[in-house]
Structure 1
């Protein structure tokens, strides 16, 4: 059984408390050592979100001679609408063709159950499949000896500081996997379009913010932006929050213009056409306001009738060529060339995943012996 860790000062915000929409009454008061569903013993908190926490847990239903089975429990809020949706998406994915090349890159649910309050979604392992399963055992044993810091909030709920440093890679063959489908959207046909807001704000594609309607190329934009997190260790867009720390779509579009140039006429025309499009159902913003259009949700308008950006004074003095400092000259050129094939205003102009995989920057480097 884990012993209590160090007590953090009550005035310091921990993990989910940092969310502007955090409300203690919606979060399950999980703590190390408790057993959920008479089967899963929570051990170490490894992640959190605005509507859930994630814990490594032991599966207690095993024979003595069997090796210990470690799972990840995603404990969702009791006011979250994403739980049932995520289960349905997982069930849909589980019926997909297992021979599909992408099947091995997705980690779906093994089980789901309800406890008093939130619902638990059981994921096999976490984020990656470990080549060496002793990584998880060593990680949990370490945190049994070095318990997580925690605090007790004003409502009496314990809030634990998540830890997720599994140490250096023991194998270069580990493959990251997709596990979080709480906001996943199904487009049934090739000509289906999504219109409501998707994606974390930093990674939102221009067609999402402008309300132009989005399809699979929005994911390509995601990957393009994510390259900076992976290669540079920092985000590409540096000026998308106002002085109060709130996301501002005007600033986001302004920085896109600085880095990529102005959007082409086709994008502006689509934006003008879709401005008054009403969503099938209103969407609630973080500030609680119900919005019926993308323009209302993202606080537009952004362009005038002539296609001119309405907030030119917000465009920062940045060039995409200045955003990479970690790579050498030759690698930097290849990196930016790859990124420019993904970070394109018009979704149809972005390269597809199969095309991007053949880009020279992603090919193994030849080394002389």
Structure 2
């Protein structure tokens, strides 16, 4: 919890500091490779905010541009409330340079954190349906109104909104009564993070983190997405856009509902993730890639012959199927769920359903089998 200061890039935030004459730091919520996150009180509006304080080199102007687009595109869209926006932005002048800061609404746990709190380490069907509805609304907003591809949909970037303000007050009181452990590195304080408690009422799901987002109206073929969620067109370096997010979401569902990855990409010879192993798994699950897709990919010749046959030096796994991989549903409900999944997991990006089409899916709108 203390290793973030090894790079010396982080701004030395002190609990109690006031920034921009209005944001008073109350405690540390967490940190990543490019930022630390703090709960603060807005002294003028008597409300709570989260401050994301970037390292000197961690901020990306493209990310700030994305937040500008997201905040203004169409606030009346039903997905607007399920996309994390920026409330304010300012710069802190540190001893070694400037540190951009983003002001946002504080959020509860991510889906990843939520899974760790759950002894079963997987969502119920009801929770999955409710969460996916909100994520799909967010993606419909991003794709249709903002013209943005997220490219990094994972459990860490899906957050629960705080509607139980008691959590914020309890966090503040806990810090006052039992201050967070801290140490000093080169004279700068490094605090332990503090977690929120369990809310009495859960808010909606919010899609966050636009550091890897790109404009979707310009197709591109650069590498993107977390390894195990990469779409076929990204792996083949064919032109990709919004449908890459749809594949990404579909593959991620296995992590939160089946407690395993759908694809691992673990190469049996190199003993690490490799694109050829990932594509072999996709081929085992869905069959050979359509020839027209193969012909679009810059990297396709590494994996397929000119007539679309598999040639990479790794075997296609046998016995793979969506039916065999899904282990929690039965009968008609399982059939409906797998049809929903197939709307996302198609080789060709143009064959995948849009977020808006998926919102109308029969399984997503049916009563849960767990009721």
Instruction: Bin the TM-score by the shorter chain.
Output: 0.7 to 0.9
Would you say the 8 A contact 2:284–2:317 is kept in 1?
A: yes
- Residue aligning to 1:235: 261
Distance 1:124 1:49 in 2: 18
2:169 corresponds in structure 1 to 137
Change (3 A) 1:260 1:28: farther
Alignment-derived partner of residue 25 in structure 1: 8
SS in 1 for 2:87: strand
Following superposition of structure 1 onto structure 2, how do residues 58-207 of structure 1 map, counting pairs within 5 Å? 58-62=41-45, 68-82=46-60, 84-115=61-92, 116=94, 117-126=98-107, 127-145=159-177, 148=180, 160-171=191-202, 174-188=203-217, 192-207=218-233
Q: Contact conserved, 2:90 with 2:102, CA < 8 A, in 1? A: yes
Query: Alignment length, in residue pairs?
Result: 314
Q: Which has the higher helix share?
A: 2
RMSD across aligned C-alpha pairs, in angstroms? 3.3
CA change 1:248–1:97 in 2 (3 A) is same
Contact 1:220 1:350 in 2 (8 A): yes
Distance 1:233 1:157, change over 3 A: farther
Tell me what 2:349 maps to.
347
Matching residue of 1:309: 310
In the alignment, the residues of structure 2 paired with residue 75 and residue 265 of structure 1 have an alpha-carbon distance, to the nearest angstrom, of 47
- Counterparts of 1:15 and 1:242, CA distance in 2: 36
Residue 255 of structure 1 aligns with which residue? Answer: 281
The answer to whether the aligner puts 1:43 opposite 2:26 as a matched pair is: yes
d(CA) in 2 for partners of 1:39 and 1:45? 17
Identify if the C-alpha distance between structure 1 residues 305 and 360 changes in structure 2 by more than 3 Å, giving closer, same or farther.
same
Return 5+ residue gaps in structure 1 as ranges: 1-13, 63-67, 276-294
**SS of equivalent residue, structure 1 residue 313:** coil
SS of 1:26 mapped into structure 2: coil
Cross-structure match for 1:266: 292
CA shift for structure 1 position 267: 1.2
Q: 1:362 and 1:15 mapped to 2: Cα distance?
A: 42
- Deviation, 1:144, is 4.7
CA contact (8 A) 1:16 1:48 kept: no
- C-alpha separation between the residues in 2 aligned to 1:215 and 1:305? 25
* Bigger proportion of residues as strand: 2
Please, which runs of 5 or more residues in structure 2 have no aligned partner? 108-158
CA contact (8 A) 1:24 1:157 kept: no
Is residue 264–residue 273 contact of structure 2 (8 Å, CA) maintained in 1?
Answer: no
1:240 deviation in Å? 3.9
Per the alignment, residue 10 of structure 1 pairs with: none
Q: Which moved more, 1:178-187 or 1:349-358?
A: 178-187
Looking at structure 1, the residues matched to 21 and 6 of structure 2 have their Cα atoms a distance apart, in angstroms, of 27
Corresponding residue of 2:365: 363
Aligned match of 1:319: 321
Deviations along 1:97-126, whole A, 9 cap, x unmatched?
322232222232111111124211111223
CA contact (8 A) 2:267 2:276 kept: no
CA distance in 1, matches of 2:251, 2:175: 34
1:308-334 deviation line (CA, Å, top 9, x unaligned): 333353544443323222334443333
SS at match of 1:177: strand
CA distance in 1, matches of 2:8, 2:73: 37
Contact 2:277 2:314 in 1 (8 A): no
Check whether the contact 2:40–2:48 (CA below 8 A) recurs between aligned residues.
yes
The answer to whether the 8 Å contact 2:167/2:196 transfers is no
The whole-number CA distance in structure 2 between the counterparts of 1:245 and 1:49 is 27
Q: Structure 2-normalised TM-score?
A: 0.72
Decide whether aligned partners of structure 1 residues 30 and 326 sit closer, same or farther in structure 2, where only a CA change above 3 A counts.
Answer: farther
TM-score (normalizing by structure 1): 0.73
Deviation at 1:256, TM superposition (A): 1.7
SS in 2 for 1:100: coil
* Distance change >3 Å, CA 108–CA 349, structure 1 → 2: same
